[in-house]
Amino acid sequence: MILRSCDAVVSGSCALHLLLPANDTAWFPSDLDIYVSCRFMTCVTVLLEREGYRIVRQHFANPNPYISSSIHSVISFSNMHRSIDVVVSNTAAAISPIFEFHSTAVMNFFTSDTIFCAYPTLTLHLMSMVNAEPIYFGPSECKAMAALQKYSGRGWQLVACQEVHESTGLCRSMPQSIADCSCLWINIANVQCVAVTPRDVFERLGIINLIWLLGGYVCGACDPFMRGQSFLVEDNSLDLLGGGFRRQ
């Protein structure tokens, strides 16, 4: 209900747990991470408080021109039994921060009716590629390294792009988009793999597309280094009506 009415998604270990076969996941997700755009921050707070949750901590990301981060703030809620972290993005899309994570293993999310996996050919085989952006430029490089170690402890294999790009048809040196057919979208209500169009993406997430590039060395070389980036293609229809209109 909260996911649908606030255009929110669930990512992190819960999304991964839902995606992987049960015999690959001897661990259980410890907490629930909900991602929401800053436009819906009040909406999600009101709905969680109605469910008996209270805010226990709010952490604002430091504005730093050298760090590209789509995270506006993280609000921690608790109802004494369970805790929920709400990650608020500073863009029009809840999902922007997901494409700045430390590795491809965690670039997954679910909405109220769909599951998304950015790298199914790697993720479903417990393989992942590093996104060097948070390691070199993130607010906490130790945290990103610890997260990578946690995944390797759970049997994940870190692969170099040139080992897998022939079989996956994907190369880290090329930007990717959530509407690419290499991504997996599963409609939970009517289980099937679907190739999505910008129209489908708009219906599910309220944006037209999101394009990202993993940070790190250009595939096969160890000299040119690219900054990781994510770029949102937004719905600008309200601009056509003049400056007086604002969504929300």
Interface residues with Zn ion (CB under 5 A) are: 161, 165, 171, 219
- CB of residue 163 vs Zn ion: minimum separation in angstroms? 9
Q: What is the C-alpha to C-alpha distance for residues 37 and 234, in angstroms, rounded to an integer?
A: 13
- Number of residue whose CB is nearest Zn ion: 219
Q: Give the whole-angstrom CA distance, residue 204 versus residue 129.
A: 27
Q: Considering beta carbons, is residue 72 or 165 the nearer one to Zn ion?
A: 165
Q: Which of 34, 91, 38, 33 is nearest to 207 (CA)?
A: 91
The residue among 36 and 170 lying less far from Zn ion, judged by its C-beta, is 170
CA R_g for the chain: 18
Residue with tokens 């946690």: 150
The nearest distance, CB 122 to Zn ion, in angstroms, is 12
What is the nearest approach in angstroms of Zn ion to the Cβ of residue 25? Answer: 28
Residue for token digits 């022939």?
A: 166
Tell me the closest approach of the beta carbon of residue 224 to Zn ion, in angstroms: 13
Q: Is 57 exposed, middle or buried (0-12, 13-18, 19+ CB in 10 A)?
A: exposed
Q: Which amino acid is at 89?
A: S
Asked if 228 contacts 100 with a C-beta cutoff of 8 angstroms, the reply is yes
Q: Which residues pair with 184 in a beta bridge?
A: 117
- 159 versus 219: smaller Cβ distance to Zn ion: 219
Q: Which is nearer to Zn ion, 202 or 217 (CB)?
A: 217
CA distance from start to end of the chain? 19
Taking the least distance from each CB to Zn ion, the nearer of 38 and 226 is: 226
CB of 170 to Zn ion, least distance (A): 7
How near is the Cβ of 104 to Zn ion at its closest, in Å?
Answer: 13
Given the complex with Zn ion, which of 132 and 161 has the nearer CB atom?
161
